[in-house]
Homo-oligomer: A and B are copies of this chain.
Amino acid sequence: MPDKKYAIGLDYGTNSVRALIVDLSDGTEVASHVHEYQSGEAGIILDPASPHLARQNPRDYLTGLEDAVRMAVAKAEEGGDFCAADIIGIGVDTTGSTPIPVDAEGTPLSFKEEFGDNPNAMAWLWKDHTSVDEAEAITAAAAKLRPQYLAKCGGTYSSEWFWSKIWHCLKVDREVFDAAASWVEFADWVPAVLAGETDPKVIKRSVCAAGHKAMYSEEWGGLPDREFLAGLDPALGELRPRLYDEAVPSNVPAGELSKDWASRLGLKSGIPICTGAFDAHHGAVGAGVAEGTLVKIIGTSTCDVAVWPSDRDLADIPGVCGIVDGSVIPGMYGIEAGQSAVGDIFNWFVSVLCEGDSSLHEKLTEEAGKLAPGESGLLALDWNNGNRTILVDARLTGLLLGQTLRTTRAEVYRALIEATAFGARMILDRMEEYGVTVERVVNCGGIAEKNPMLMQIYADVTGRTMLISRSGQTCALGAAMFGAVCAGPDKGGYATIQDAQAAMCGVKETTYEPIPENREVYQELFELYRRLHDTFGLSGHSDALGDVMKKLLEIRSRVVG
Task: Chain B residues near A541: list those with CB within 8 A.
Answer: 544, 546
- Given A353-B412, A395-B550, A409-B352, are A535 and B540 neighbors across the interface (CB < 8 Å)? no
Residues 144-182 of chain A, each 1 if its beta carbon lies under 8 Å from chain B, else 0: 000000000000000000000000000000000000000
Q: Are A399 and B397 in contact (CB under 8 A)?
A: no
Across the interface, which residues of B come within 8 angstroms of A228, CB to CB? none
Smallest CB separation, A426 vs chain B (Å): 16
Contact A542 to B540, CB < 8 A, known contacts A397-B377, A401-B397, A549-B396:
no
Q: Which residues of B are found within 8 Å of A345, using beta-carbon distances?
A: 405
Closest approach, in angstroms, between the C-beta of A150 and any C-beta of chain B? 20
With the chains together, A314 CA to B181 CA distance in Å?
81
Complex interface: chain B residues within 8 A of A3 (CB)? none
Q: How long is the Cα–Cα vector from A227 to B521 in the complex, in angstroms? A: 45
- Expressed in whole angstroms, the Cα–Cα distance for A493 and B406 within the complex equals 48
| Measured CA separation A481–B164 after assembly (Å) | 74
B549 touching A545 by the CB < 8 A rule? Answer: no
Chain B: minimal CB distance from A336 (Å): 22
Kindly name the residue among A341, A408, A544 whose own CB sees the greatest number of chain B CB atoms within 10 A.
A544
A403/B399 in contact, CB under 8 A: yes
| B402→A397 contact, CB < 8 A | yes
CB < 8 Å neighbour of A543 from B344, B354, B403, B542:
B542
- A398 closest partner in B (C-beta): B403
Question: With the chains together, A536 CA to B545 CA distance in Å?
Answer: 5
B384–A353 contact, CB under 8 A?
no
A404-B385 contact, Cβ under 8 Å, with A536-B548, A540-B546: yes
Chain B residues with CB below 8 A from A550, complex form: 395-396
In this complex, which of A404, A406, A408, A548 has the most chain B Cβ atoms within 10 angstroms of its Cβ? A404
A538 within 8 A of B: yes
Per-residue interface assignment for chain A, residues 520 to 549, with 1 indicating a CB less than 8 Å from any chain B CB and 0 otherwise: 000000000000000111111111111111
Closest to A416 in B: B403
Contacts of A400 in B (CB 8 A): 399-401, 403
Contact of A348 among B405, B542, B544, B546 (CB under 8 A): B405
CA gap between A545 and B541 in the complex, in Å: 7
Check A310 for interface membership: any CB of B closer than 8 A.
Answer: no
User: How many copies of this chain sit in the oligomeric assembly?
Assistant: 2
Q: In the assembly, what is the distance between CA of A536 and CA of B535, in Å?
A: 12
Are A546 and B538 interface neighbours, CB within 8 A?
yes
- Complexed CA–CA distance, A401 and B402 (Å): 12
Report if A407 contacts B (CB, 8 A): yes
User: In the complex, which residue of chain B has the Cβ closest to the Cβ of A377?
Assistant: B397
**Closest B residue, CB atoms, query A401:** B399
A552 contacts the other chain (CB 8 A): yes
Give the distance in Å from the alpha carbon of A404 to the alpha carbon of B397 in the complex. Answer: 6
A553 within 8 A of B: yes
A111: shortest Cβ distance to chain B, in Å?
36
Which residue of the partner chain B has the closest CB to A537?
A: B546
CB of A355 closer than 8 Å to a CB of B = yes
Q: Given that A353-B409, A384-B404 are contacting pairs, would A544 and B539 also be in contact in the complex, using a CB cutoff of 8 Å?
A: yes
Contact in complex: B544, A540 (CB < 8 Å): yes
Query: CB distance B395 to A553 under 8 Å?
Result: yes
Give the distance to chain B from A536, nearest Cβ to Cβ, in Å.
Answer: 5
A396 to B341, CA, bound (A): 29
Q: In the complex, what residues of B have CB within 8 A of residue A354's CB? A: 353-355
Per-position contact with B for A249-261: 1 when CB-CB < 8 Å, else 0?
A: 0000000000000
Among the listed B406, B536, B546, which residue makes an inter-chain contact with A539, where contact means beta carbons less than 8 Å apart? B546
Q: For the complex, give the distance between the alpha carbons of A426 and B538 in Å.
A: 27
Known contacts: A398-B403, A403-B397. The answer to whether A539 contacts B535 by CB under 8 A is no
Distance of A28 from chain B, by nearest CB (Å)? 38
A343-360 interface with B by 8 A CB criterion: 344-345, 348, 352-355
Chain B residue at smallest Cβ distance from A402:
B397
Say whether B536 contacts A407, CB under 8 Å.
no
Kindly provide the distance from the CB of A156 to the nearest chain B CB, expressed in whole angstroms. 15
Known contacts A344-B405, A403-B384, A405-B344; decide if A397 and B539 are in contact (CB<8 Å): no
The distance in angstroms between the C-alpha atoms of A535 and B543, with both chains bound, is: 8
Shortest Cβ distance from residue A57 to the other chain B in the assembled complex, whole angstroms: 28
Q: What is the bound-complex CA distance between A104 and B558, given in angstroms?
A: 46
Interface string of A319-344 (1 = CB under 8 A from B): 00000000000000000000001001
A536–B546 CB distance below 8 A: yes
Chain B residues, CB < 8 A from A403: 348, 384, 397-400
Q: Which residues of B contact A355 (CB under 8 A)?
A: 354, 409
Can you pick out 19 interface pairs between chain A and chain B where the beta carbons lie within 8 Å of each other?
A341-B405, A345-B405, A348-B403, A352-B409, A353-B407, A353-B409, A354-B355, A377-B397, A395-B550, A396-B549, A397-B553, A398-B402, A398-B403, A399-B401, A399-B403, A535-B546, A536-B549, A537-B546, A545-B545
Apart from A539-B547, A540-B544, A541-B546, 19 more pairs, CB < 8 Å: A352-B409, A353-B409, A383-B549, A384-B404, A397-B401, A398-B401, A398-B404, A399-B401, A400-B400, A400-B401, A535-B546, A536-B545, A536-B546, A536-B548, A536-B549, A539-B544, A539-B546, A540-B546, A542-B542
